[in-house]
Amino acid sequence: MTGEMLPPEWLSEAVLEIADHSGVASYETQKLAGHFAVTVVSCPVLGKQTSLRAHLHAILKSL
């Protein structure tokens, strides 16, 4: 990650997808500063080691 802004359409798409799955969604924007490493986790939903981002995406898709 380079600290670039998230395209607004990505945020809109994510919020709408969450609302479709759960019936509700809200969000707030924040400005974060720091160094972020890629986190590898064991994802039972995907059944393999994966990035935290892919793990969270798999969880949302499974709702």
Q: What integer pLDDT is reported at residue 3 of this predicted model?
A: 57
Model pLDDT, residue 1: 45
Cα-Cα-Cα-Cα dihedral sign, residues 8, 26, 37, 3: positive
- For residue 34, what pLDDT is reported? 63
Residue located via tokens 């759960």: 22
pLDDT for 8-51, tens place per residue? 888 888 888 888 888 888 888 777 666 555 677 777 777 888 87
CB contact at 8 A, 38 and 51: yes
Q: Are 54 and 38 a contacting pair, CB within 8 Å?
A: no
